[in-house]
Amino acid sequence: MERSWVYRVVLYSLLTLVALVFLAPSAATWLGKDDKLPTWMKKHVQNKIQLGLDLQGGLHLVYEVQVDKAVSDKADRLASDLEEKLRKEKKVKQVRAERSGKDEIDLQFTPPTDAARLDRTFLKEYQKYLYEDGRDAAKGTVKLKIDSDYVDELRDYAVRQGVETIRNRVDKLAVAEPTIIRKGTDIVVELPGLKPDDFERVKNLIGRTAQLEFKMQDDGSEYMKKLSGVAVARKSEFPGLEIGHDGWQEKDTGTPHSDVYLRDKDKGELERFLASLSKDDAVPSDHEIGFEQVPAKDDEGTTTPDKVWRTYYLHKRAELTGEYITDAEVNWDPQTGRPEVSVTFDHEGADLFEKASGSNIGRKMAIILDEKINSAPVIESRIGGGRARITMGGFSDPFQLQQEAKDLVAVLRTGALPAPLKKTFETQVGPTLGRDAVEKAKFSMMIGSLAVVLFMLLYYRVSGFIADIAMVMNIVYQLAILAALGATLTLPGIAGVVLTVGMAVDANIIIYERIREELRAGKSARGAVDAGFGRAFWTVFDAHVTNLVAGIVLYSYGTGPIRGFAVTLMIGIVCNLFTSVWLSRSMFDYIVGRKQNATLSI
């Protein structure tokens, strides 16, 4: 008995210590004493309780991705593609292909006998997308329908693109803790801490239709050599700026290419450097500088987890834009076992791409989404037929390569089928509103907690004191877990903490009333404590489970502040089971365990 009690004290003290360590960074921030934290803590315990945007102000937006539009756009494109192909390859004189409904294509052949030219072998090329849904030989009409698996894929990609695009744009904003969550076909964007002056600008930026462009790099240029010279000369002004050298060979001829570029961990510094250039050194008007974020390499050339921004010297004119792409997908190159991305262009796009690739063999082509270079593959040969393959390079592991390939596909498709985003929900909160609400919530929380603490002391005396300690520990553990998870505290979340205060003592009341009953029945203090805790445990457990069920449902239903509430509530419930049952039990064991004739103040 005594021994096990010692173990428990050690265990609980350790737990509490861990909880306090997790809580320390958040507490330091609230008190404005960040600098007083020991360095080891700053290094290892970084997660903090974040304040939700209802508390610190900010912008909350929900966009609906109009997935049906993505499907009908695809149907439109397939229809015009079919028309053209039937004319060119099957020599059909007159055919009209039109979308009907969301996912059907009606073809009308004149004369009707021409409909026979649309046969199985022709459709084979489209089998991933379409199947024949009916045909009237006499009228010369054929109905095609988009494959439902493909429709699902389109919808899924449309939302994924939306998320990708929004993330790209939000990354540019330098907001402290942005969250972008996908919820069905909705995209939820939360930007806590954003200043009201920026709301308008940020909404514009996020809502814009994405632009995908392909531009050629002008490698080995005199200008970049000159620019690197300037960068070296002004090293003291821009300490982060470095010069990089790049080299590769043409696959067929072996002609070497080399290039000089600038790199910097801080993109802002790069931009400042470029903006500060004198008129003579400025970027020529028919060129521009693009930026790509790449893994940094150490002196031996192996990649490190750090990321740096590097420049590309590009021809300003875009060779192609995303609108010429009809599809993009991830494939596996059977020879190398590496993933590759294949891109399909429409007829005009195929011509443009053939010309562009033919006259730029050996050069790098930058794929640019929203002014950020996503990838810059080397063109190995003249590419005709409207299909291009992008081999994923680098030394990364296969899984990472595949992830990169998927991201690139999402980017390429963004250009192909920009599914429109529709704003369905918007909340703007100024910072003052939050501050005022927090003050009042704090006050009501204090009054409420104080009332509960006093009541327990009065009603149950020493045992009430134990319940109060358990309740305080409950809040400590609850906040510590929130901090460890880096969870977001919202206004309803504070209500959740306050509510936990009220609920925390409930378990104790249920147990205490049971102990009283046992005492009335004539049991000894120790016997009553054993029986009270033992019998009441399952009652308390069941009650906690039903609360938890409600919390889980709430979590899956709500967004933003409501979710914050559900998280606090659920964590509170779990901690409460621990503090009110086990922690307070230990304190009781200490009181009744030492003497034979212990009395209980309950």
Partner 1 sequence: MAKFFELIKPNHNIEFSGRMNLFLGLSMFLVTLSIAMLPINHFWRGHTLNYGIDFRGGTEIQVAFSGEQDPGRIRAAMQNNGFKDTEVVKIRDAAFPNTFLLRFGAVSQVSEKQVPEVEAALRASIGADSLRKFDFSEGGDKLYLRFNKPVEPAQIAEVLKSKGIKNNAVQRYGRPEDNAYEVILVGLDVEVRSALEKGLGAGAVHAIPSVESVGAKASSELLADGVKSLLFAIICIMVYIAVRFDFRYGPGTIIALLHDAILVMGAFALTYREFSLVTIAAILTVIGYSMNDTIVVFDRIRENASRLRDKKFDRVVNISINETLSRTILTSATVFFVTLAMNIWGTGVIRDFAFAMNVGVIVGTYSSIFVAAPILIWLNERFFKNVGTKSKASA
Nearer to partner 1 (CB atom), residue 241 or residue 491: 491
In degrees to the nearest 10, what's the CA dihedral of 200, 201, 207, 208?
140
Nearer to partner 1 (CB atom), residue 218 or residue 346: 346
Ramachandran region, residue 254 (left: φ > 0; alpha: ψ -120 to 50; beta: rest): left
User: In the chain, what is the straight-line distance between the N-terminal and C-terminal CA atoms, in Å?
Assistant: 22
Retrieve residue 59's tokens: 């912008």
Q: Taking a C-beta distance cutoff of 8 angstroms, is the pair 143, 104 a contact?
A: yes
| Residue 344: CB minimum distance to partner 1, A | 16
Nearer to partner 1 (CB atom), residue 399 or residue 538: 538
| Residue 137: CB minimum distance to partner 1, A | 35
Nearer to partner 1 (CB atom), residue 269 or residue 517: 517
| Residue 534: CB minimum distance to partner 1, A | 12
SS3 content of the chain, % helix, strand, coil (to 5): 55, 25, 25
| Residue 405: CB minimum distance to partner 1, A | 26
- Return the residue matching tokens 């539009």: 69
Reduce the secondary structure of 397-462 to three states and give it as a string: CHHHHHHHHHHHHHHHHHHHCCCCEEEEEEEEECHHHHHHHHHHHHHHHHHHHHHHHHHHHHHHHH
Which of 203, 262, 210, 209 is closest to 235 using CA atoms?
262
| Residue 506: CB minimum distance to partner 1, A | 4
Which of 503, 510, 515 is closest to 539 using CA atoms?
510
Interhelix angle 491-520/431-485, rounded to 10 degrees, is 60
Q: Taking a C-beta distance cutoff of 8 angstroms, is the pair 406, 341 a contact?
A: no
| Residue 443: CB minimum distance to partner 1, A | 5
| Residue 303: CB minimum distance to partner 1, A | 36
List all residues 6 or more positions away from 490 whose beta carbon is below 8 Å from its beta carbon.
Answer: 52, 53, 54, 55, 560, 561, 563, 564, 565
d(CA 592, CA 113): 99
d(CA 495, CA 566): 10
Nearer to partner 1 (CB atom), residue 483 or residue 566: 566
Nearer to partner 1 (CB atom), residue 240 or residue 558: 558
**Which value, in Å, is the radius of gyration of the alpha carbons in the chain?**
33
Nearer to partner 1 (CB atom), residue 258 or residue 546: 546
Nearer to partner 1 (CB atom), residue 14 or residue 545: 545
| Residue 370: CB minimum distance to partner 1, A | 12
| Residue 420: CB minimum distance to partner 1, A | 6
In degrees to the nearest 10, what's the CA dihedral of 527, 530, 533, 534?
-110
Q: Taking a C-beta distance cutoff of 8 angstroms, is the pair 479, 496 a contact?
A: no
Reduce the secondary structure of 103-142 to three states and give it as a string: CEEEEEEECHHHHHHCCHHHHHCCCCCEEEEEEECCCCEE
DSSP bridge pairs for 145 = 104, 131
Nearer to partner 1 (CB atom), residue 362 or residue 415: 415
Nearer to partner 1 (CB atom), residue 128 or residue 442: 442
Q: Taking a C-beta distance cutoff of 8 angstroms, is the pair 93, 124 a contact?
A: no
- Return the residue matching tokens 């067929």: 252
Nearer to partner 1 (CB atom), residue 79 or residue 429: 429
| Residue 265: CB minimum distance to partner 1, A | 32
Which of 109, 161, 164 is closest to 139 using CA atoms?
109
| Residue 516: CB minimum distance to partner 1, A | 6
Nearer to partner 1 (CB atom), residue 228 or residue 488: 488
Nearer to partner 1 (CB atom), residue 38 or residue 522: 522
Q: What is the DSSP string of 230-292?
A: HHHHTTTT-TT-EEEEEEEE-TTT--EEEEEEEEES-HHHHHHHHHT--TTTSPPTTEEEEEE
Nearer to partner 1 (CB atom), residue 433 or residue 485: 433
Nearer to partner 1 (CB atom), residue 385 or residue 430: 430
Say which DSSP state 394 is in: S
| Residue 342: CB minimum distance to partner 1, A | 22
d(CA 178, CA 581): 38
Sheet containing 325-332: which strands, arranged edge to edge?
Answer: 325-332, 339-345, 387-391
| Residue 141: CB minimum distance to partner 1, A | 27
